[in-house]
Every structure is written in structure tokens, then in C-alpha cells.
């Protein structure tokens, strides 16, 4: 086994592409994602106000809207068309219209209508704007009702109850800041790591066939495929696991992302993610022992994982075949373990099946190894 | 006369390279997969994954400690919203939490025992909601549903307390300033309608980069580069002919892919498609050209056919994020804005989303359009430089041979 390990380590350092894909790319991805979303939520979303009233009330309203952290009132316009054009050219993500006669109607109780428009071709800014616009509109109504109530002699202490008889107290469990950084990095970074593990594992096995060195490699393991494959993959496991640990250290140590449970549960999950993904790649190579087909499959699985594992669009809402597919992706199980163990910090018992699934992935390649060995002995390269 | 002569030779050369590159593409099964199978299959797979567009009826449970007609009404109305579905009424929070841990529900509505009492006493009553945060879409759905339900119910309670007022008086009293909200360009706030246009553009660019990279890797590892500069009288030293000839080949191959991806797929899956197709096609021209030259420049890093995968596949994710479709560009740190600005897909996505989804004309996206032409120019020059460099290096190594020998 040692001979295979040494041989593999020589290869890893002799070709820059390995260093690039095992260390530089994962490192770049995590620095990129962290710095991109370091604010957690996009602040100061550019918007426009179409003020057709030009009254004190409408100006007050504009000012209050501008005071929100999520909104930046970049333009004050006079017509809908101007606003629409700014929206289409991408200068603003939404606008709010205050109709003519706003103040007069509001004072006379003739219900002037505020309308707001969001550009939902951009999902995150649009949903944040919707929330801000809606809050401001409700508050505007509230202010008027409040005046009326005060005038009719309702006491200050009773006003809130009259304005809003049922209040809500929303608890966003584990991510009270509703931070997109917490939300996306915890799933996309392991997803990207899985992609790189799949590609590198397939590449390192396939290259032996391509370069006709497969038999030489088997000889270092006395023709035992199990020893050969273990010897080859262990150095890679160590490097990828080290990258995974770095991710965990940055996420939960440096950035203090929610870690409600025991960090060891996540470390175990990360190790299992690395090993089961390697095993997944070995399965791909056993079924299709060709470098190019193997890489195509690895790329397909790795990239589609980011969608099908349900990081952004929940798996239960997908069509049935995709739901089934999601559970044969190692990173799906890692993601569910993360939700249980880090985000929600619930007992390990509830994650048991996902650990089991990862372990099963890790050993699932063994029955296929004889098939891989045959291909390695033939070492036929298909360009 | 000499000038016309060199133009004639140039055209002949370009035509020759162009034809030869066709042969190279169609003889290489791996490249055919990248240029045709990938752009054909990926859009369909992605569209199918996100095709449900919205999340409906997310399971939740209720812990109703008040057990009054009003609290039951609140729960019923929550159940009636499209966003949520009540799967169980739990006796206490422990039971509800257990339901959540077992993933039988993603939200808990807690109604305290003094819920109705408080309202009858004329005090404000508070209900709590606990939402799982593993998927933000679930949280968003719950939040909107809960706000709407409590506000409506609250409005009706206010109405009752007014007693004997006319409908108009009630409206004025409860909502003196009504509002309407309009979701432009993606009315149901669907995930596919938002994400797919960006993915489509990215598929075009990435399949080009991968395919061109694979071709270049093949040439490099088989030491075939000399076939392009020696052995044919007028070919030597004219990188321009080589680059233009190859680019014409890729461009002509991608006309069909572009029509399929940017025109047919949005139509097939009924994504928002309100732009002028003619203008979208003319926008696609600099996008394709800049992607081709971008790919040809990057191909210098590919030393082996298959390393194309390792080098370029993961960049798809980076390019998607850096384009600003999820995280808006203005909110990024400046250095990522700069990096994004030199990637064709950033401008491609920006322009295509605005034209196709938001119905902008090509004049409205002139900034992106200009940037794409600038990138085309820049990457054309860099392509010529890296090709020149590689030929120079290849000559130094002393490879030689005859072009037709292959």
C-alpha cells in the first residue's frame, strides 16, 4: 500500500493541475463566496419614487422610505414611463408611485392608492424591496388611522391594539439575520468541493489508463485493486479533507455562522462527504472506464448537484424523478446533516440515516472494483 | 495590387482554416458532445428541475393553546393560503418540535392561551411563528402568508368593533391608504423564470470554452500545432488568418445553438419572453464572438484534452454568481465587479435578462452591448498574442511537418 501512496504523492506534486484543482480552486471559491456576500443581505437597493402629488405628505413618505437601510431612493420622477425605462435599463430594481391628490384624498378619507412595482427578474432584490415597500405602505395607512383615533379620543395605549389587533412574532430559527451568506455558503461550498473531488478522482484514475501506466500502478499494489485504489485515493482524501476542515473552520470559527450542535458531527460529515464522493467517482469510472466519459459524467453530476440537492429550490417541490435523484447525491445528505446538526442543533438521532447513506456511498464502489481492474489491465484509451 | 493579392490570400487561408476546423470538430466526439449535446440537453434538464417555479403548501403545524373560535379561524385561514398547509395540530411545543425534527413540517404556529381574551379586552394579541431556515423560500412563503392572514383577520376585527358603519366607512377606517403591488416581468415570482435566462447564457459560453479548450488540449498534447504554420506556403506567421478562420467555424456552428437556447427554450417552457427576437439575436452576436475569443485565449492553459473539464467546469458557478443575477452587482465588492466586467457572460446575462425577460430594447442595454464589443476586441487581441506565443514556443521546440499529412 505504501508504494502506491508514495507513487500517487509524486504524481500529485509533479502536475500543477492537481494543485490547482485540489487547493487553489477550492480556496478561491470560498474566498470568492465569502467576500461576495459579506454583507449578508444586499443593502441600499436602488429605487425610484414617482411622486405625482408633490405635497408635504408625499415628501414625508419619500423621506421615510429613503431612511430604510434596504432602500436607496436614487431618482425622483414624474411619470410611470420614466420609471419603467430606468427599470428596463437596470438602473433601479423597483419603484413606488404616489398618485396625484394623495394628500388631499388621504385627509378627506377618499382612499388614495399607493402602487409599487418590483423587478422580479432579479429575485433577491425584488423580494427585499417588496417587503420594504409593503411595510412603508402599511405604516402610511397606520399613521392616518392613528390620527383619526387620537382625534376621536382613543387613548395612546390602546392605539396599537386598534391599529393591528393581531401582531406576529416571526422566529427565523438559526438564521435570525436572514443572511444569504449563511444560507448559500453552507450549501454551495460543500457542493463545489464535491464537484472538484469528483473531477480530480476521475481524472487521476482515468489518466492511468490514458498514459498506459495503469498496470504499473497495479503492480505497486501487487495487483490488488483494493490496495491500489486505496493507496491512490488516501493522499487525495487527506488533501480534500483538509480543505473541508478549512471550510468548517472559516464558516463556524472565523465567520461565526450558526453552529448550534457539536462541531465534531460536522467534521465527521465532512470526512464522510469526501470519502463518499471519491467512492462515487470510482463507481463512475468502473461503469465507464474512459477518461472523457468519466469526466463528462462527473461534471454533469457535480454541477447538477448544486441544483438538484435542493439548496435553493426545495426538493419536495421538485418533480418526482428529481426528488429520487437528489438522494443519490452525497452532498444532499451532507446538506441535511448540516441543517440538523449546525443550523438547528437537534439530536444526532434525527440525522442517523444521512450518516448511514454517506457510509453506504463510501463502500458502494467495492463490488464494482473487479470491473475497474479489468479496464485498468486493458488500459485502452478512448480520446 | 500587392494589397489585393494579400487580401485574396488571406481569404483563402481563412476559408481553408475554417473548413479544416469543421473537420477537426466533427472528427472529435468529445467536442461534438460539448458543442451540440451539452447545449441541447442542459437547458432542458435545468428547466425541468426548476419548472415547478414556486413552492406551494409547505407543511406546518399549529400549537393552539387558546382553543377559541377565533384561534381556530386563524389556523384555518393559514391553511387556506397557497403557501402553507397544516399537517397536524400539536398538543404542545415539544410535540411540534419533534414534528419539525422529523421533517414532517417546516414551521410552527404558536397561538398563546390568552389570544382571544386579549382581543376581547381591546389589547394587542401576539402570535408566534417558528420557521425552519434551511430553505429561504419556505420561510418567505410562511412570512407572506402569516402577515396577510393576520392583517386580514385584524381588519375584520376592527370592522366588528366599529359596528353599524357602512362598507365605505369601514374601508376608510381600516385602510385609509390602500396599496397595490405589481411583480413586473416575473409575475408569479417563479424561480425558473428568474434563474433560467442566466443559466442559458452561461451554457452557451461554458460549452464554447470547454469545447475550444478540448480542441486546443488535443493539439498541444499531440504536438500538432506546427501543422497550422508550416507546410503551407502563405500560412506562416499569419496568426490573424488562423484566429479568424477558427472563430468563423465556431461562430457558424453556434448560430443554431443560439437560436435553440435563446429563442426556442424560453418559448418551450413558457418563460417570460417579451423582447424583440431580432434585437436579441443582434445582441447575441458580440456575446458569441467575445465568448469564442475568451475561450480561445483561455485555451492556452489547456495542456491536455481532458484538463478542459478540470479547469473550466467549476468556473460556471463563479461566473453565475459574479454576473449579479442572484447577488446584485452594485452590492459586490469593487474587485469582483471588475472581475465580472471582463467575463462575457456577465454582460450577456445582464443584456439577455433585460431584453428577453423585461422587454428592453437593444438601446436600453447599450452599456452591456458596448462592453461585449469591447471584450470581443480585447479577447481577439489576446487570442492573437497567445497563438503567436504558442507558435513561437512550438518553433523553438523544432516540431515540423506537413499540414496535409494528417
Residues A33 and A110 in one domain: no
Domain ranges, residue A148: 45-163
**Under a CB-based contact definition with an 8 Å cutoff, are residues A87 and A95 in contact?**
yes
Is residue A169 a part of any domain in this protein? no
Residue B7 contacts residue B236 (beta carbons within 8 Å): no
The b/e string for B331-364 (b: 16+ C-beta within 10 A; e otherwise) is bbeeebeebbeebbbbbbbbbbbbbbbbbbbbeb
Q: Are residues A181 and A119 both part of a single domain?
A: no
Closest to A164 in 3D by CA, of A191, A141, A194, A195: A141
Q: Do A50 and A30 fall within a single domain?
A: no
Which range, A54-58, A65-69, A105-109, A342-346, has the best average confidence (pLDDT)?
A342-346
Give the minimum alpha-carbon distance from A112 to chain B in angstroms, rounded to a whole number.
6
B30–A292 C-beta distance less than 8 A: yes
Cα–Cα distance for residue pair A304/B325, rounded to 1 Å: 18
Task: Assign B403 a pLDDT band (cuts: 50, 70, 90).
Answer: very low
Query: Do residues A219 and A140 both lie within one domain?
Result: no
Nearest to A314 among B30, B137, B306 (CB): B137
**Based on the domain organization, do A159 and A181 belong to the same domain?**
no
Residue of B134, B135, B194 with shortest CB distance to A121: B194
Reported for B117-121, long-range contacts at CB under 8 A and 24+ positions apart, including other chains, are: B119/A165, B119/A166, B119/B70, B119/B157
Closest partner residue to B177 (CB to CB) among A20, A106, A160 is A106
Work out the minimum CA distance from A226 to partner chain B, whole angstroms.
26
Work out the mean pLDDT of chain B and round it to a whole number.
89
Q: How far apart are CA B307 and CA B220, in angstroms?
A: 12
The pLDDT, as a whole number, for residue B231 is 56
Interface test with B, best of A313, A339, A341, A348 (most B CBs within 10 A): A313
Q: Are residues A232 and A346 in the same domain?
A: yes
Q: Least CA distance to A121: which residue of chain B?
A: B194
Residue A168 lies in a domain: no
Cβ contact A199:A299 at 8 Å: yes
Inter-chain touch B306–A203, beta carbons under 8 Å: yes
Contacts of A36 in chain B (CB under 8 A): 321-322, 327, 332-333, 336
Chain-chain contact of A165 with B158 (C-beta, under 8 angstroms): yes
Mutate to test the interface with A, among B98, B102, B327 (most CBs of A within 10 A): B327
Cell of residue B247, nine digits: 472563430
Q: Do A118 and B184 touch (CB under 8 A)?
A: yes
Taken in order A344, A347, A348, A352, is the CA torsion positive or negative? negative
Pair (A265, A310) in one structural domain: yes
Give the CA distances from residue B159 to residues A162, B153, B163, B174, in Å, rounded to whole numbers and listed in that order: 10, 10, 7, 7
Mutate to test the interface with B, among A19, A38, A87, A90 (most CBs of B within 10 A): A90
Across A265-288, average pLDDT: 96
Looking up residue A112, the CATH number of its domain turns out to be 3.40.1710.10
Give yes or no: residues A215 and A153 share one domain.
no
- Domain boundary pick from A163, A196, A214: A163
Q: Are B276 and B49 in contact (CB under 8 A)?
A: no
Chain-chain contact of B177 with A137 (C-beta, under 8 angstroms): yes
Q: Is B175 on the interface with A (CB under 8 A)?
A: yes
Mean pLDDT score, A24-42: 91
Name the phi and psi angles at A213, rounded to 5. -115, 10
Give the up-direction half-sphere exposure of residue A353: CA atoms within 13 A in the CB hemisphere: 7
Query: What separation, in Å, do the N-terminal and C-terminal C-alpha atoms of chain B show?
Result: 35
Nearest alpha carbon to residue A309 among A328, A280, A325, A332: A332
Question: CA B276, CA B273: separation in Å to the nearest integer?
Answer: 9
Radius of gyration of chain A (CA): 29
List chain A residues with CB under 8 Å of B135: 310, 312, 314
Domain contains A89: yes
CA distance B35 to B250: 9
Instruction: Look at B189 and A291 and tell me if their CB atoms are within 8 Å.
Output: no
- HSE-up of residue B253 (Cα within 13 Å, Cβ side): 28
Structure-model confidence comparison of residues B110 and A379, the more confident one: B110
Measured between CB atoms, which of A148, A168, A188 is closest to B127?
A: A168
Partner residue facing B313 (CB), from A37, A89, A303: A303
Count: domains in chain A: 2
Three-state SS for B271?
A: coil
pLDDT level of residue B406 (50, 70, 90 thresholds)? very low
Report the mean per-residue pLDDT for chain A.
91
ipTM value: 0.92
Q: Is a pLDDT exceeding 50 seen at residue A363?
A: yes
From A106-120, B104-118, B253-267, the region with the lowest mean pLDDT: A106-120
For residue A175, what is the nearest residue in chain B, using CA coordinates?
Answer: B133
Residues 6+ positions from A259 with CB-CB distance below 8 Å: A251, A252, A266, A342, A345
* CB-CB neighbours of A366 under 10 Å: 15
Q: Do residue A196 and residue B360 have CB atoms under 8 angstroms apart?
A: no
B residues 220-239 lying closer than 8 A (beta carbon) to A: none
- C-alpha distances in Å from residue B299, one per residue of A199, B307, B389: 19, 10, 13
My answer on whether A272 and A341 are in the same domain is: yes
CA B270 to the chain's CA centroid: 16
Residue A33 to residue B337: CA distance in whole angstroms: 13
> Would you place residue A32 in the very low, low, confident or very high pLDDT band (cuts 50, 70, 90)?
very high
User: Given CB atoms, is B328 within the 8 Å cutoff of chain A?
Assistant: yes
Alpha helices in chain A (DSSP H): 2-14, 16-19, 25-36, 56-66, 80-88, 102-108, 123-151, 156-163, 180-210, 214-220, 225-248, 263-287, 291-308, 320-326, 330-338, 352-364, 369-378
* Domain-terminating residue out of A163, A193, A223: A163
Q: Which of B181, B205, B348, B363 to probe the A interface (max A CBs under 10 A)?
A: B181
The answer to whether residue A151 is domain-embedded is: yes
Distance CA(B348)–CA(B182), nearest Å, equals 27
- Give the span between the Cα atoms of B266 and B269, in whole angstroms: 5
Min Cα distance B184 → chain A (Å) is 5
Amino acid B232: pLDDT: 55
Q: Which of B54, B103, B62 is nearest to B82 (CA)?
A: B54
- Furthest CA-CA distance within chain A: 95
pLDDT above 60: residue B401: no
Spatial CA neighbour of A351 closest among A293, A272, A274, A298: A272
Q: How far is CA A228 from the centre of its chain?
A: 36
Contact residues, chain B, for A196 at CB < 8 Å: 314
Position with higher pLDDT, B258 vs A164: B258
Query: How does DSSP assign B313-364, residue by residue?
Result: TTHHHHHHHHTTSSS-GGGS-HHHHHHHHTSHHHHHHHHHIIIIIT---TTT
B301 and A CB contact within 8 Å: no
Taking an 8 Å cut-off on Cβ atoms, the answer to whether A17 and B311 are in contact is yes
Residues A221 and A356 both lie in one domain: yes
Domain boundary among A163, A193, A212: A163
Give phi and psi for B275, each to the nearest 5: -80, 170
* A233 lies in the same domain as A159: no
Mean pLDDT is lowest, of A13-22, A134-143, B64-73, for A134-143
B257: confidence class by pLDDT, cuts 50, 70, 90 = very high
Mean pLDDT of B342-351: 95
Does A304 fall in a domain? yes
Q: pLDDT tier at B405 (50, 70, 90 boundaries)?
A: very low
> What does R_g of chain B's alpha carbons equal in angstroms?
30
Q: Hey, what's the torsion of the CAs at A20, A24, A29, A35, to 10 degrees?
A: -150
Residues 361-380, chain B: which have Cβ within 8 Å of A? Answer: 364-365, 367
The percentage of chain A sitting over the pLDDT mark of 90, rounded to a whole number, equals: 58
Contact B317 A109 (CB under 8 A): no
Burial of residue B164, with CB atoms counted within 10 A of its CB: 0-12 exposed, 13-18 middle, 19 or more buried: exposed
Domains of chain B: 2-51+190-405 (no CATH), 58-174 (3.40.1710.10)
Q: What pLDDT shows up at residue B12?
A: 84
C-alpha B246: how far from its chain's center?
A: 28
Q: Does residue A84 form part of some domain?
A: yes
And the C-alpha cell for A56? 408635504
User: Three-class SS of residue A343?
Assistant: helix
Query: Which pLDDT band holds residue B235 (cuts at 50, 70, 90)?
Result: low
Residue among B29, B179, B314 minimizing CB distance to A196: B314
pLDDT category at B369 given cuts 50, 70, 90 is: very high
pLDDT of B230: 65
| Residue B369 near residue B286 (C-beta atoms within 8 A) | yes
What is the model's pLDDT at position B240? 86
Residue-wise burial string across A8-46, b where 16 or more C-beta atoms lie within 10 A, e elsewhere: bbebbeebebbebbbbebbeebbebbbebbeeebbebbb
In this structure, the answer to whether residues A184 and A330 fall within a common structural domain is yes
Q: Is A234 a domain residue?
A: yes
Q: B101 vs A137: CB contact, 8 Å cut-off?
A: no
8 Å CB contact of A199 and B191: no
Q: Please, are residues A4 and A227 in contact by the beta-carbon 8 Å criterion?
A: yes
Work out the pLDDT band at B259, boundaries 50, 70, 90. Answer: very high
Amino acid at each position: 500500500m505504501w508504494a502506491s501512496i508514495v507513487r500517487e504523492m509524486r504524481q500529485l506534486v509533479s502536475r500543477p493541475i492537481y494543485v490547482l484543482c485540489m487547493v487553489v480552486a477550492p480556496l478561491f471559491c470560498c474566498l470568492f463566496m465569502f467576500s461576495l456576500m459579506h454583507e449578508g443581505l444586499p443593502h441600499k437597493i436602488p429605487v425610484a419614487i414617482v411622486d405625482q402629488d408633490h405635497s408635504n405628505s408625499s415628501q414625508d413618505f419619500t423621506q421615510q422610505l429613503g431612511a430604510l437601510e434596504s432602500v436607496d431612493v436614487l431618482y425622483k420622477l414624474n411619470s410611470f414611463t420614466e420609471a419603467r425605462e430606468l427599470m428596463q435599463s437596470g438602473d433601479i430594481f423597483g419603484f413606488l408611485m404616489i398618485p396625484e391628490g394623495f394628500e388631499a384624498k388621504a385627509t378627506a378619507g377618499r382612499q388614495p392608492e399607493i402602487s409599487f412595482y418590483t423587478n422580479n427578474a432579479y429575485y433577491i432584490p425584488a423580494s427585499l424591496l417588496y417587503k420594504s415597500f409593503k411595510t412603508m405602505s402599511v405604516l402610511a395607512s397606520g399613521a392616518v388611522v392613528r390620527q383619526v383615533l387620537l382625534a376621536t379620543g382613543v387613548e395612546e395605549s390602546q392605539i396599537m391594539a386598534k391599529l393591528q389587533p393581531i401582531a406576529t412574532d416571526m422566529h427565523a430559527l438559526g438564521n435570525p439575520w436572514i443572511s444569504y451568506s449563511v444560507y448559500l455558503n453552507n450549501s454551495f461550498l460543500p457542493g463545489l468541493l464535491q464537484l472538484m473531488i469528483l473531477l480530480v478522482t476521475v481524472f487521476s484514475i482515468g489518466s492511468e489508463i490514458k498514459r498506459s501506466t495503469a498496470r504499473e500502478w497495479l503492480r505497486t499494489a501487487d495487483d490488488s485493486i483494493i490496495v491500489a485504489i486505496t493507496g491512490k485515493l488516501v493522499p487525495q482524501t487527506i488533501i480534500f479533507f483538509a480543505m473541508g476542515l478549512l471550510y468548517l473552520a472559516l464558516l463556524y470559527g472565523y465567520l461565526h455562522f450558526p453552529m448550534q450542535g457539536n462541531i465534531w458531527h460536522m467534521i465527521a460529515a465532512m470526512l464522510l462527504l469526501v470519502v463518499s464522493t471519491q467512492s462515487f467517482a470510482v463507481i463512475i469510472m468502473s461503469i465507464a472506464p474512459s477518461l472523457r466519459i468519466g469526466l463528462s459524467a462527473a461534471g454533469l453530476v457535480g454541477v447538477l448537484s448544486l441544483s438538484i440537492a435542493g439548496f435553493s429550490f426545495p426538493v419536495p417541490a421538485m418533480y418526482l424523478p428529481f426528488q429520487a435523484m437528489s438522494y443519490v447525491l452525497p452532498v444532499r445528505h451532507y446538506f441535511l446533516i448540516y441543517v440538523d446538526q449546525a443550523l438547528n442543533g437537534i439530536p444526532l438521532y434525527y440525522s442517523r440515516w444521512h450518516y448511514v447513506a454517506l457510509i453506504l456511498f463510501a463502500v458502494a464502489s467495492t463490488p464494482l472494483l473487479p470491473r475497474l481492474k479489468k479496464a485498468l489491465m486493458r488500459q485502452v484509451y478512448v480520446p | 495590387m500587392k494589397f489585393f493579392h494579400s487580401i485574396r490570400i488571406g481569404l483563402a487561408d481563412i476559408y481553408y482554416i475554417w473548413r479544416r476546423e469543421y473537420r477537426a470538430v466533427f472528427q472529435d466526439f468529445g467536442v461534438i458532445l460539448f458543442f451540440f449535446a451539452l447545449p441541447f440537453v442542459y437547458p432542458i434538464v435545468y428547466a425541468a428541475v426548476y419548472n415547478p417555479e414556486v413552492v406551494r403548501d409547505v407543511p406546518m403545524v399549529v400549537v393552539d393553546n387558546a382553543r377559541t373560535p377565533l384561534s381556530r379561524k386563524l389556523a384555518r385561514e393559514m391553511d387556506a393560503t397557497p403557501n402553507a398547509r397544516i399537517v397536524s395540530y400539536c398538543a404542545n411545543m415539544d410535540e411540534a418540535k419533534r414534528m419539525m425534527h422529523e421533517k414532517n413540517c417546516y414551521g410552527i404556529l404558536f397561538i398563546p392561551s390568552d389570544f382571544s381574551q386579549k382581543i376581547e379586552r381591546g389589547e394587542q394579541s401576539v402570535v408566534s411563528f417558528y420557521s425552519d431556515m434551511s430553505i429561504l423560500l419556505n420561510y418567505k412563503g410562511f412570512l407572506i402568508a402569516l402577515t396577510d392572514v393576520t392583517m386580514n383577520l385584524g381588519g375584520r376585527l376592527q370592522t366588528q368593533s366599529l359596528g353599524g358603519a357602512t362598507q365605505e366607512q369601514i374601508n376608510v377606517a381600516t385602510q385609509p391608504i390602500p396599496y397595490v403591488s405589481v411583480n413586473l416581468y416575473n409575475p408569479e415570482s417563479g424561480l425558473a423564470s428568474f434563474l433560467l435566462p442566466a443559466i442559458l447564457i452561461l451554457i452557451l459560453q461554458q460549452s464554447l470554452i470547454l469545447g475550444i479548450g478540448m480542441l486546443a488540449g488535443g493539439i498541444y498534447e499531440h504536438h500538432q500545432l506546427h501543422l497550422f504554420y508550416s507546410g503551407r506556403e502563405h500560412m506562416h506567421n499569419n496568426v490573424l488568418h488562423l484566429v479568424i478562420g477558427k472563430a468563423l467555424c465556431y461562430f457558424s456552428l453556434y448560430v443554431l445553438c443560439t437560436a435553440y437556447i435563446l429563442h426556442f427554450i424560453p418559448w418551450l417552457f413558457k418563460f417570460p419572453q417579451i423582447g424583440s427576437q431580432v434585437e436579441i439575436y443582434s445582441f447575441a452576436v458580440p456575446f458569441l464572438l467575445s465568448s469564442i475569443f475568451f475561450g480561445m485565449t483561455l485555451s492556452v492553459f489547456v495542456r491536455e484534452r481532458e484538463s478542459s473539464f478540470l479547469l473550466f467546469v467549476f468556473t460556471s458557478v463563479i461566473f453565475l454568481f459574479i454576473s449579479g443575477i442572484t447577488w446584485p452587482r452594485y452590492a459586490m465588492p469593487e474587485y469582483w465587479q471588475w472581475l465580472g466586467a471582463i467575463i462575457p457572460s456577465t454582460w450577456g446575462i445582464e443584456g439577455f435578462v433585460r431584453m428577453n425577460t423585461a422587454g428592453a430594447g437593444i438601446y436600453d442595454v447599450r452599456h452591456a452591448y458596448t462592453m461585449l464589443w469591447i471584450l470581443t476586441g480585447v479577447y481577439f487581441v489576446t487570442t492573437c498574442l497567445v497563438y503567436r506565443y504558442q507558435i513561437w514556443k512550438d518553433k523553438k521546440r523544432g516540431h515540423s511537418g506537413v499540414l496535409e499529412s494528417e
